[in-house]
Amino acid sequence: MSEILPIVKYPDAFLRTRTKAVAEIDDHVRDMAERMIHTMIAARGIGLAATQVGWDARVCIVSDTGEPGDCHILVNPVVEETWGSEAMEEGCLSFPGVNAVITRAQGVKVRFTGLDGGEHTLEDDDLLGRCCLHEIDHLDGVTFLGKMTPADKLANRRALKRLEERAKATA
């Protein structure tokens, strides 16, 4: 029922998709959200956006531990407010082997629809908030590659090249 989804990896163009809002929380959305949680946990991530599983929908999973009971499902998330600024190391399930220090807002308030159909807000100025910003970027077709410093791009050039070559080999 809740099988694991393949993760879309860099340099797949689907990662640049600006996803469509979810019109209705139906069985398909609930099923996909559950599969995304399983996929994220199996991959030992702490966040996963629909874009990363080839689904054109504004849905993402965020967590600050990656534990099953600690995942938030955000449908149609909107950043309402941000404050501060902080540099922190990030990885991304679509960029295996790539890590970079990314500067983002330190705190964020996100409004979203839950699987219950209700409106909710999430406010955090730690790892969970950072995770929201990274995943919402994905839903806008933006990856952390575009936010890396030239030094970080250089430091990751081998890992990026390896991903590009792997994609060419399977194309």
Indicate the pairing of strand 86-90 with strand 100-104: antiparallel
Could you tell me which stretch among 19-27, 29-37, 88-96, 109-117 binds Zn ion (CB under 5 A)?
Answer: 88-96
Shortest distance (Å) from residue 128 CB to Zn ion: 15
Residue 154 three-state SS: helix
Residue (91 or 111) nearer to Zn ion, CB:
91
In sequence order, the 6+-apart residues with CB closer than 8 A to the CB of 36 are: 5, 48, 50, 53, 59, 60, 61, 73
**Is 135 among the catalytic positions?**
yes
- Among residues 29 and 100, whose Cβ is nearest to Zn ion? 100
| 61 near Zn ion (CB under 5 A) | no
Cα separation of 167 and 80, whole Å? 37
Catalytic residue of the set 123, 135, 164, 165: 135
SS3 label, residue 110: strand
Residue nearest to Zn ion (CB): 92
Is 7 or 25 the residue whose CB approaches Zn ion more closely? 7
Minimum Å gap between C-beta 142 and Zn ion is: 10
Span of 14-22, 87-95, 105-113, 122-130 interacting with Zn ion by CB under 5 A:
87-95
Structure tokens at 106: 């330190």
Answer whether 146's CB lies under 8 Å from 160's CB. Answer: no
Residue 168 tokens, joined: 């060419």
Positive/negative CA dihedral, 44, 106, 144, 20: positive
Rounded least distance, CB 88 to Zn ion, Å: 14
Closer residue to Zn ion (CB): 92 or 139: 92
Decide if residue 92 touches Zn ion (CB under 5 A): yes
Residue the block writes with tokens 């996963």: 48
For the bound state, the minimum distance from the C-beta of residue 60 to Zn ion, rounded and expressed in Å, comes to 9
- Residues serving a catalytic function are 135
List residues near Zn ion by CB under 5 A.
92
